Amino acid sequence: MKKHISLEFFSELYIAFNKPYGVISQFTPKAGYITLKKFDFPKGVYPCGRLDADSEGLLILTNDGYFNQILTNPKYKKIKTYWAQVERIIDEEALLKIRNGIVLNDGPTLPAEIKIMEEPALSPRIPPIRYRKTVPTSWVELKIREGRNRQVRRMLAHVGYPVLRLFRYSIGDVNTSSLEIGQWRYLSEDEILNLKKERK
């Protein structure tokens, strides 16, 4: 979504984007994929980390390299909140394992916060998730302080609950509540300052 704001007075830009399913977190063209170029961002911004093509939700972009480091380096312990729809009704044993930390093929995870939640009011995914009448689904809210490749999906699969839909709702205090899928906005001054706080 284009913002009709003159950028000539801004040296540093900070953007929250509600990324749709099927979009890759890069501007460089890649055969078969929609890239960030489609969404008319101001020149010079790049994503802080990534959100896989099959995941949706909050992606922050900036031209501030230090800010990018603060968001992506796990030593700064920025909390990322995900909503995940999983196959079957997740049980307390699986939740406890994730809360305590589990061992993936690239090492142990930090303890995470996880709880069962009601289905969130998200726009329908395009294309929709696969649906099987004989297999129920459930939703969980998961908060992590790391950012490994496909970490949330791997954690939930490890405890026996494959992810059907994954949506990143927030990073720190910044969330997607004011954004429709495919829309973006500039971060407020308070949001920027809060994210820049180094909690080592």
pTM: 0.91
Residues 86 and 49 in one domain: no
Average pLDDT over residues 35-49: 96
Q: Is 106 a catalytic residue?
A: no
Specify whether the CB–CB gap between 70 and 78 falls below 8 A: yes
Give the pLDDT band (50/70/90) at residue 187: very high
- List the catalytic residue out of 40, 52, 54, 106: 52
pLDDT over 90, % of the chain? 80
Rounded to whole angstroms, the Cα distance separating 59 from 179 reads 12
> Does 72 have pLDDT greater than 50?
yes
CATH number at residue 129: 3.30.70.1560
Determine the 3-state secondary structure of 191 from DSSP: helix
Listed residue (66, 63, 61) closest to 51, CA to CA: 61
Number of domains in the chain: 2
Specify whether the CB–CB gap between 108 and 155 falls below 8 A: no
Specify whether the CB–CB gap between 166 and 142 falls below 8 A: no
Mean per-residue pLDDT over the chain, rounded: 91
* Beta-carbon count within 10 A of 125 CB: 17
Within a domain: 4: no
